Structure 1
Amino acid sequence: MIISAMVAVGENNEIGKDNDLPWRLPNDWAYLRRVTMGHSIILGRKNYESIGKPLDGRKNIVLTTNKDYKAEGCHIAYSIEDALSKCEGEEVFILGGEEIYRQFLPYTQKLYITKIHAPFDGDRFFPTIDYSLWKELSVEKGIKDEKNHYDYYFHVFEKIK
């Protein structure tokens, strides 16, 4: 199984503010949907609650320490091992938030990073990556338009074995 992290980051590695995204970038949501469709996804409880519902067409696994937590349409996990045991398919996607990325990073083999070339006010951050340990597989410039107001790029990295 390939463990992949998928994240959008601002110029300062910011990923969230007040349990929400500090930007609106519909093309990034479309990219996330296209790449993760049909796969298992792992989200932390706070991240799941900020979205408010399971992402359709994917096996949603919510990681929490609350043994009484319930989320309709989702599988609940209480540890990294428990979450991974519930995954199906060749590739699983870690969708955050900050602490979930930090916990899974040692196990992560691929990174899908949307780099947004603008600074934002953030209170949650993606862990610092030592890119010397990663090989860039692809980069694609996103389309800036009336709904996507920032310069951004879709990067895919693979951990060097």
Structure 2
Amino acid sequence: MIVFHLARAQNGVIGRDGKLPWHLPADLKRFKAQTMGKPMVMGRKTFESFPSPLPGRRHIVLTRDRDWRAESAEVAHTLEEALTLAGSGEVAVIGGAEIFAMFLPYAQRIELTEVHDAPEGDATMPPFVLAWREVAREDFAEEAGRPAYSFVTLERVLP
């Protein structure tokens, strides 16, 4: 099962200069809990944005650069290679925008943090519409200078 894990602002922004344009500790804690022990598929820029590899998870990096290598990364050059490396079971797709677009036809669930803010950014993700239904939502108020946000679970609507 392919599951997206991402935080997106109300204007579609998911990143700025290789980082999140907000700091929401509860979102980071949820991300860790949901991805622990699972293979994570990501693009090279997403992998390189981490200060170090995330413990307890496999890092499958999808890149067009045939010469790219990194310690703690399993390298794939196609969607199919990434899925073969991930094996059976749940696969956490964690970005960036190009990776999400590539995997969208195959995703079955989305674990989304809706950030109720409109920061500037250079990476965006359009809203998920039509083939998705909301099955869970937990809302959180603005606090300590951090924007309000919602944890939302979306499931693909099968035809």
**Structures share fold, TM-score greater than 0.5:** yes
Structure 2 contact 22–146 (Cα < 8 Å) conserved: no
Q: Over aligned residue pairs, what C-alpha RMSD do you find? A: 1.4
CA offset digits 1:81-124 (Å, max 9, x no partner): 00000114521111001111111111111111100111100111
**Structure 1: 5+ residue stretches without partners:** none
**Equivalent residue for 1:135, pick from 133, 136, 150:** 133
Structure 1 contact 102–127 (Cα < 8 Å) conserved: no
**Structure 2: 5+ residue stretches without partners:** none
Q: TM-score, normalised by structure 2?
A: 0.93
Counterpart of 2:139, as a letter, is K
Counterpart of 1:112, as a letter, is E
- How many equivalent pairs are there? 158
- 1:16-27 alignment runs, 5 A limit: 16-27=15-26
State, as a whole percentage, how many aligned pairs show the same letter. Answer: 36
In the superposition, relative to structure 1, how do residues 53 and 88 fare at CA in structure 2: closer, same or farther (>3 Å)?
farther
- 1:1-161 alignment runs, 5 A limit: 2-130=1-129, 132-142=130-140, 144-146=142-144, 149-161=146-158
Which of 5-14 and 132-141 deviates more?
Answer: 132-141
Q: TM-score, normalised by structure 1?
A: 0.92
